[in-house]
Amino acid sequence: MRHKNKSTMRWRAGPSGLHLFDRRTGLNCLFDEVRVPSEKWARAPRHVAIALTNACDLACAFCYAPKEPATLMLGQVSRWLAELDANGCLGVGFGGGEPTIHRRFSDICRYAAQETGLAISFTTHGHHLLDGRLSAAIAGHVHFVRVSMDGVGRTYEAIRGRPFDAFLRCLGVVGALSRFGLNYVVNRHTLPDLDAAAGVAADSGASELLLLPEMPVRGGGGIDAATRSALAAWVAAYRGPVPLVVGVSGADGLPTCDPLPSETGLRAYAHIDAAGVLKASSFDVHGVAIGQGGLIPAVRALESQRGVLP
């Protein structure tokens, strides 16, 4: 196996100092006493999410992914990955839709792991990983997997239309691939299952439980005020062994810690949708199409569009 970057550790320079990251273990070290001149700051966002396809074989009501057909090609994704790698990005997360449906998914993961120093993660419902051929094809080429759960037992089955015991088998397969976390959309239907969800996270060996307060989609849905208040109380009382994480879009009112307060916005995160449009988040409607000039010029254009200093 040929690696462009022999070490699994890399440095990122930015307004918060020097950031050391190990993609294999997930270790992060920030040397905030180091002051780096702005001309030496990384030009790429710290993390970029890439929606490989809008296609999904489930139909969750709160899904934010666009419903028009769109799929990225291996060649264009490879070019963007190389560009991100060369400009200080630390990791990419493949999503969708359901990324494991993409016919070149394993090839994309293999390229990213072998030809770049980026940390490779993806978000999935997990069920296609029960196919031993797919899990074998991506083994050794991913560093973290985010598995969407959104309810336990009957709640999960009502939302996702799949047996919950099959989901638990998925977690066993995922655990053999890499470190993993559970994604959990919180709304009035899934809130009562939080204790059970934390138990599943602990029992399955998950590294984290990511709480995602439901965002409005296409003008409807979203977490209500009473549920958000109950979620905040649950988080405050939580004493489980699995660390809690919260999505930035839904973090208001929840206790959070940001070790990189100077690295916000497009310095921290960007999203590429399945049509090749760069956005500040997956919930944004508008963005900048990534043209022949490449990804970094698109980041600069989006910064300018949003009134952010380069």
Is there a domain that residue 207 lies in?
yes
The pLDDT tens digits of the residues spanning 194-248 come to: 999 999 999 999 999 999 999 887 656 788 999 999 999 999 999 999 999 987 7
Report how many domains make up the chain. 1
Taking the whole predicted model, whether its pTM rises above 0.85 is answered as yes
pLDDT at 306 over 90: no
What residues does 29 pair with on adjacent strands?
A: 20
Model pLDDT, residue 226: 95
100 within domain boundaries: yes
Report if residue 141 sits inside a domain: yes
Residue type, 166: A
Residue 79 lies in a domain: yes
Cis peptide before 97 (omega within 30 of 0): yes
Q: How many CB atoms lie within 10 A of CB 135?
A: 18
Of all residues in the chain, the percent with pLDDT exceeding 70 is 95
Would you say residue 113 lies in a domain? yes
Q: Regarding predicted confidence, which is higher, 278 or 218?
A: 278
Is 310 among the domain residues?
Answer: no
Structural domain contains residue 1: no
Q: What is the span of the domain harbouring residue 220?
A: 9-305
Per-residue pLDDT tens over the stretch 27-48: 999 999 999 999 999 999 999 9
CATH of the domain at 256: 3.20.20.70
Calpha distance 103→91 (Å, rounded): 22
